[in-house]
Structure 1
């Protein structure tokens, strides 16, 4: 009887721990990985109080129509400039190229950037930065716009997956310094894909 009681208590404890260790939320690999990083104290941009009850970011539903192929026109003669950030820091960037693409039948254009510091950092030599604004900003999505990561392609086309659009870290914590999206990269349409605005309450 005593052994049965001990077994019951141990089983109850194990089940309780299993319930506390909830599965990472997400419908796509990108969403699951992002939520896992946000739960990880060593990687998360969240403030401790926000991470304590964090159970996943809010995303627009995955929509394949927001995965587009863009024509890349490279701009090898572009000059380095100081991209403003949310703090006094500036980010040394250049326009790597111009992306032209169609989204839901309409034509759009975005500048894609290369960072001077990152291109000299191991593992980021081919990294490109694609920040954008759209008509969901300040409503469903973060008011300051969102970012996409990319790599230098071999040819003259690039895939843009707006379902992987994420918020700058300063959307979660004002200790971060985030590049401000240039007005040239404003899309006059609603991009209902990627991460939504973060509710800090």
Structure 2
């Protein structure tokens, strides 16, 4: 009888857990990956009070017009410099190249950066860092600008998907040290794609 009672209680507990487990939200696979990362205590930048009831980041609706093909002009002779961050730490970076692209009928260009430390990591040796600011900052998006992760292409073109623009970790938690977007990476337009500002 005790064994039956134990099995019954175990089954009820498992059913309750299954009902409590919520599916990961997101319109695209990338949005689901972001939400899974922010929900997981081992990978989330969120403070515990914000993560406890976290369901989803606030995203703009996916818009294919914000997926652009950029021309990459490599700048192999640029010097390393100290990129300022939100703390006293400085990140050693160099301009890897200049990205030129058309967005909604207008031409834009952005510097794309390469980090010295990441080049030593086998998983990130081809990683490129694309920070930018635009006219939505401080309104619908984080005031300090956003980032996009890229990889070094084989040729001289690269896809920029602004739907994958995300906030620096310090937008969620001040204990993080985040690179400050260089002023030259300002886009005089509204980038209404990617992650919106965080409401805590």
TM-score (norm 2): 0.94
* Separation in 1, partners of 2:148, 2:30: 12
Aligned to 1:120: 120
CA distance in 2, matches of 1:125, 1:112: 15
Q: Counterpart in 2 of 1:137?
A: 137
| Counterpart in the other structure of 2:70 | 70
How far did residue 120 of structure 1 move? 1.1
Distance in 2 between the 1:108 and 1:15 partners?
Answer: 54
Q: Which residue does 2:151 correspond to in 1? A: 151
Q: Match for residue 188 of structure 1?
A: 188
- Give the structure 2 partner of residue 35 of structure 1: 35
Q: Which residue of 1 aligns with 2:53?
A: 53
Distance in 2, Cα, partners of 1:127 & 1:196: 24
Residue of structure 1 equivalent to 2:102: 102
For structure 2, the 5+ residue unaligned runs are none
Map of 2:172 onto structure 1: 172
C-alpha distance in structure 2 between counterparts of 1:117 and 1:123, whole Å = 12
State the distance in 1 between where 2:19 and 2:98 align.
Answer: 49
Aligned residues, how many?
Answer: 199
Inter-partner Cα distance in structure 1 for 2:88 and 2:17: 45
Distance 1:21 1:37 in 2: 16
CA-to-partner distance for each residue in 1:48-98, whole Å, 9 max, x for gaps? 111001011000000000000000000011011110000000000000000
How far, CA to CA, are the matches of 1:144 and 1:185 in structure 2? 12
Pairwise CA distance, 1:18: 2.1
Unmatched 5+ residue regions in structure 1?
none
Task: With the length of structure 1 as denominator, give the TM-score of the two structures.
Answer: 0.93
